[in-house]
Structure 1
């Protein structure tokens, strides 16, 4: 019998003791495996963050919007300019009045009798044609003109240009705006104060500061809440430059890693310069204000280099929270925070006690709320965008930092805005109406440059741009083009040619009848051609237009510059054609420029961010009508203002200022128009309601009032008086069109082309009036 071997107790215990060993080994294996995976993932994540940090920091850091500038104020001897207008221009570009001029951006004024003498220190500017350095000059104003212009040594200056006002930008979709500045151009006090307030150990730490974190944690623990942050300036840059503002532990970890990486790859100067250009300092409408350079413009309308101690402290105070310390909304908070920054400046030895005391006593010094906006003139900026879109892609305009020099005159623009707002408000009160809107376009005569554009009675509000997009019937504004069509046929028509003002009926192909009537419902029989335009007779104009042929009138409008839709109906002779105020300005400019067509333009030059020229927008001209016919029409439009529908406002202008224009009123007075010009300025005004409802305003009681207010404030010169070519003046009898004489009743002084002088004279009855008529005073 076989005996079964008994297992040794020791052997059994030995087998049991190996099981835990295998378990621990497996756990250790999984631990190291997991740790390796986590390490690998963390390494890959860090490598990815490293790539992100380098790619953006070394590439194109920002999408910089195109900057848009107004035309510079060009000073020369003889320029029409008052002391009030000159100081308004200086203040608009941030110049400061001082007792004694000592640096750029300052001016001082002295009075000597009726003369104002200015000492001015310009800032200098990189213009499209040359760089002009900062310089001192002296300007004297007397009798509304520049009487002397000298440099600092007393030598005469032929021309002096002040830097142009920045009027807006073409912004990227994310709505950020900034002015880039190099670190060497930043005032040292600003940089030193920024580090003293935001990151005292910036030059010593490697992206994160453990002492700063501990100090903040202790302060928060003592306060029982978050009262202090431990982020370094580098971490703040990472948060703003790379990350969102989400409050989470994972984001803080990511922020710390990226801050270390940023500090590892780049020197402190690069990081500080980027921070100075990136930091958020406020909001201007839809655009965020980023960087200290733009912040200086936004709050003080001054370059960074000209800020005083108090202003510098306020900008740095806003870093803590631009919304919370908004100096317009919360001036007390802003003042308290500014004074705290000033204390830090004194504690660090950046300013002395006297400067501290003076800075703390100073007001915030910000521009009035709403007085400065990154988009100052939205209607004009929209015109600039549309003209640029022909040559540039929108993304280039939004990101390449182009510098766009325009034709806008801030002096004219500000007056056009104020006049529109004040007069529309007064008209609503006087006539008991609501919802009246308006638009104005002002151009220079000859160059065709748009000097001002108002698209809303509240011009800075943006929104619907009526100057560009409100297409309305133009009414009697079309009549000068009917008469120009006639005057372009000098063998048949002259200013004194008799035309009929009897009722007229035109039957259309569909059987409908067009029967225009005069506004007075009266007929005047045979009248001289000029009188039909001066008194805006509908019947005379309609009969003349039908006699000329509708196609001829169409072609005149086309030649004048209108390329929109013209209805093929007789009623276009009295204004049944729709145009925008800008389109009206385009065709009336051809009349003002003596028959020369010039496309209206808002852009002069485009430069790259580095100052290299990209494209010029030269003057383009084409003589489309005879100078003789154009001069005759201009003279008749002067008569419209002197004796016709515009005479009620002409008394506010001097007799020797030759102005010309035409009123326009549409059916049921839904639209009130006026288009008029001097020798320098053309202005078109439209008033009406957006819902196209009736108003109690005609062209003369509405739009003409706005036009007269505006032209009365502009320093301008009269239209041309010297007749061209074969045109000469003679006395004609206004009732018969025959020759007359200076002292005869009903005699009128009219410009005639060769062959238009009548061969017979009308009977002369002496005019016993002792006061000479306006044209007699004008030509003496």
Structure 2
């Protein structure tokens, strides 16, 4: 009997082991089935959330365009085109003193595909004289450069990518990636036992996970499904999932997924995934245009995006790049000449991150806000929409540069502590309200508080043109030469306080023609006029110009006690620039699906809300502001032949400095002040005006010279009396009036005057 006990025990143990193995197999099978289901669901559907891509407006080139060859070259460099004597492929150009040859990239615009082709752009001085197609010499009327990718609207978890198909990827990248990361990729079944064994030995010696034997398939699993924690459980999970992926998908599908998933760096809160976006983020060019040294840098980054970050650790990145280039050469992927050229090349990383998500954060924020009414957040962050905007990169560059440089210069000259002042600015088109540039603060890459959109500051004297516009809509009572009193005003407000406004210089200047009161920005004549027409009517005029805020119709409104953002100011001044036609500011032209199908068009919505005659008169008055009034400092920057219109704005205790104005084609607004609302000591003339003038100079704006509407006539008047004048008067001025409402009487100095001894001669000639 004693001998049977061990046998019974062995049977029991074997049974228990069999049960345990069976249970283990069930658990393992269940576990593997769950993994298998997860893998197939993720790979069968949309594998990634595809952020919306936001594009700037493309530069249009045509015969007669005022642009110098150097400016065109600058634009091509901004777009990542490379100078190449052979014009060997799209994205290359060859400049000379009078001609720039360009091998255009193919691009699918909202109105059709523009094919890749080589064009010769010829110049005479600083303008284009002709454009011809190099292939056959045929003239080209107009073409567009591919637009700059200025940002993405990515999901809250911060991943961004530009998807590529494997057939779009340069062969060197595919072969080089396999050579560096997984030489046996096309031979293994998802895991490499030899690499795993090597890693296990290293990990056992270290007593922890310090090395992985990961194949490309395992790396894809880690990036796509798992965390970055180095644990045994995660490594086991990774191996099983790699085997399952290899069971369901072929090698090219796996490699394509890896090319789009691999993490290549960080751009602020945005994680840069995939080689498509990596090429743009580091080199500002499409993936297919990368050169061998650029491919090597991206491949080298996989080992450690932070450690080998080329912008922070250039020496490490260079050494890693050159090591990868050595692998390319040893494997015969590049010849010795190409290897030596690549070794000699600098890193070539775009220092300004052109095209990055942080490039134009203030403008992209405006785009997001204008899209929210039509699209859910999921649409914007998951569906790969293509959003074409109105941003003009050249105008944006000019506005950024002058805000940053000029405000620092003001601080230095006035001995202020650096970073005391803040600033914001907006540039729009004069005829449609398209937002061409927008700066939300001095740190132009900071995606925080956007002063151009959200800072509600009193606009001060910027409101005065609308006070006078309200008056000029009553031609029987007011015209540009109406004499206004400049004398003390005291007004008891509804709550009992006494309001006694004063002029900026605390002086009285005697009776003033309306246009001069506007030009010199005198407060008391403005208040007098406002009281005559009424605060309700003035506020109504401002609303017709585009203002939608909740300001109160109080007398203080006449001196600018109304808060607006720079964008809101640009809207109401844009209505003046457009002859009374109001258009809401627009940052978007078209939205398409990722496949190029149109979803939404954003046509310019313009309607006439103010009468053209009085608006023309106000525009003339704003020209006088710049020619002889508080804005005359503009011409210290602008050439003497320039004609613009604008207005300074200064608020109580010099807390806000404004300048708003326009040319024939551009409206620009600049604000300078402090975030803590403390006085700056800056008037509109000394703070915002120099920035505005330099911006308009560098944009080479067109002269503001509108055609008078049929309701307006121009008469020559005596400056002293405001009556009709001719060559008999020494001081005269040509002033526009509403037809039939100009002065009828002749000034005493005129040959045709009532008391002139030469009146009889006039009568003779008139008979």
Distance in 2 of aligned mates of 1:18 and 1:216: 48
- Further displaced range: 299-308 or 265-274: 299-308
Match of 1:760 in 2: 745
Match of 1:120 in 2: 102
1:464 has 2:452 as partner: no
2:699 aligned counterpart, secondary structure:
coil
Report matched runs for 1:322-341 at 5 Å.
322-341=305-324
Aligned partner (choices 729, 733, 739) of residue 724 of structure 2: 739
Per the TM alignment, residue 76 of structure 1 is displaced from its structure 2 partner at its CA by 1.0
Q: Any idea what the Cα deviations from partners look like across 1:386-431, whole Å, max 9, x if unmatched?
A: 0000111112111111110000000000110010010000100111
Q: Any idea what the Cα deviations from partners look like across 1:653-689, whole Å, max 9, x if unmatched?
A: 2343220000000000000000010000100000100
Match of 1:270 in 2: 253
Match of 2:70 in 1: 84
Q: Are the counterparts in 2 of residues 732 and 747 from structure 1 also a CA contact under 8 Å? A: yes
Q: Are the counterparts in 1 of residues 580 and 615 from structure 2 also a CA contact under 8 Å? A: yes
Q: Are the counterparts in 2 of residues 745 and 765 from structure 1 also a CA contact under 8 Å? A: no
Report matched runs for 1:510-529 at 5 Å.
510-529=495-514
Distance in 1 of aligned mates of 2:501 and 2:408: 33
Match of 1:421 in 2: 404
Aligned partner (choices 194, 204, 216) of residue 187 of structure 2: 204
1:150 has 2:136 as partner: no
Distance in 2 of aligned mates of 1:145 and 1:729: 35
2:698 aligned counterpart, secondary structure:
coil
1:713 aligned counterpart, secondary structure:
helix
Distance in 2 of aligned mates of 1:20 and 1:565: 94
Change (3 A) 1:730 1:654: farther
Distance in 2 of aligned mates of 1:374 and 1:161: 23
- Unaligned 5+ segments in structure 1 are 1-13, 767-780
Aligned partner (choices 647, 658, 665) of residue 643 of structure 2: 658
Aligned partner (choices 295, 311, 330) of residue 347 of structure 1: 330
Change (3 A) 1:84 1:594: same
Distance in 2 of aligned mates of 1:746 and 1:463: 54
Distance in 2 of aligned mates of 1:612 and 1:282: 31
Per the TM alignment, residue 320 of structure 1 is displaced from its structure 2 partner at its CA by 1.3
Report matched runs for 1:533-552 at 5 Å.
533-552=518-537
Aligned partner (choices 11, 29, 43) of residue 43 of structure 1: 29
Q: Any idea what the Cα deviations from partners look like across 1:517-565, whole Å, max 9, x if unmatched?
A: 1122222333222112111111101011110111111110110010101
Distance in 2 of aligned mates of 1:296 and 1:25: 65
Distance in 1 of aligned mates of 2:522 and 2:308: 63
Change (3 A) 1:18 1:100: closer
Distance in 2 of aligned mates of 1:76 and 1:576: 46
Distance in 2 of aligned mates of 1:415 and 1:369: 15
Distance in 1 of aligned mates of 2:289 and 2:62: 27
Aligned partner (choices 95, 100, 114) of residue 132 of structure 1: 114
Distance in 2 of aligned mates of 1:220 and 1:344: 26
Change (3 A) 1:442 1:77: same
- Further displaced range: 687-696 or 281-290: 281-290
Distance in 2 of aligned mates of 1:757 and 1:415: 42
Distance in 1 of aligned mates of 2:500 and 2:394: 46
1:578 has 2:563 as partner: yes
1:675 has 2:660 as partner: yes
Per the TM alignment, residue 593 of structure 1 is displaced from its structure 2 partner at its CA by 0.4
Q: Are the counterparts in 1 of residues 644 and 661 from structure 2 also a CA contact under 8 Å? A: yes
Distance in 2 of aligned mates of 1:225 and 1:726: 87
Per the TM alignment, residue 35 of structure 1 is displaced from its structure 2 partner at its CA by 1.6
**CA root-mean-square deviation:** 1.9
Q: Any idea what the Cα deviations from partners look like across 1:318-375, whole Å, max 9, x if unmatched?
A: 1111111111222222222222212221222212222222222222121125556322
Q: Any idea what the Cα deviations from partners look like across 1:598-635, whole Å, max 9, x if unmatched?
A: 11100000001111100001111111112111111111
Distance in 1 of aligned mates of 2:204 and 2:492: 92
Q: Any idea what the Cα deviations from partners look like across 1:469-516, whole Å, max 9, x if unmatched?
A: 110100000000011111112222211122222221221222212111
Per the TM alignment, residue 193 of structure 1 is displaced from its structure 2 partner at its CA by 0.9
Aligned partner (choices 384, 388, 396) of residue 401 of structure 1: 384
Distance in 2 of aligned mates of 1:740 and 1:504: 33
Aligned partner (choices 225, 238, 252) of residue 255 of structure 1: 238
Aligned partner (choices 595, 599, 617) of residue 610 of structure 1: 595
Change (3 A) 1:539 1:350: same
1:459 aligned counterpart, secondary structure:
coil
Aligned partner (choices 362, 387, 408) of residue 379 of structure 1: 362
TM-score, with normalisation over the residues of structure 2?
0.95
- Further displaced range: 226-235 or 127-136: 226-235
Q: Are the counterparts in 2 of residues 438 and 455 from structure 1 also a CA contact under 8 Å? A: yes
1:712 aligned counterpart, secondary structure:
helix
Match of 2:552 in 1: 567
Match of 1:489 in 2: 474
Q: Are the counterparts in 2 of residues 433 and 695 from structure 1 also a CA contact under 8 Å? A: no
Per the TM alignment, residue 220 of structure 1 is displaced from its structure 2 partner at its CA by 7.8
* Structure with larger Rg: 1
1:30 has 2:16 as partner: yes
Q: Are the counterparts in 1 of residues 451 and 565 from structure 2 also a CA contact under 8 Å? A: yes
Match of 1:11 in 2: none
Change (3 A) 1:512 1:406: same
Match of 1:777 in 2: none
Distance in 1 of aligned mates of 2:202 and 2:322: 22
Aligned partner (choices 663, 673, 679) of residue 694 of structure 1: 679
Aligned partner (choices 691, 713, 734) of residue 706 of structure 1: 691
Report matched runs for 1:616-635 at 5 Å.
616-635=601-620
- Further displaced range: 326-335 or 560-569: 326-335
Per the TM alignment, residue 245 of structure 1 is displaced from its structure 2 partner at its CA by 0.8
Aligned partner (choices 14, 20, 39) of residue 53 of structure 1: 39
Match of 1:454 in 2: 439
Q: Are the counterparts in 1 of residues 276 and 287 from structure 2 also a CA contact under 8 Å? A: yes
Distance in 2 of aligned mates of 1:748 and 1:447: 32
Distance in 1 of aligned mates of 2:524 and 2:741: 24
- Further displaced range: 479-488 or 366-375: 366-375
Distance in 1 of aligned mates of 2:574 and 2:22: 78
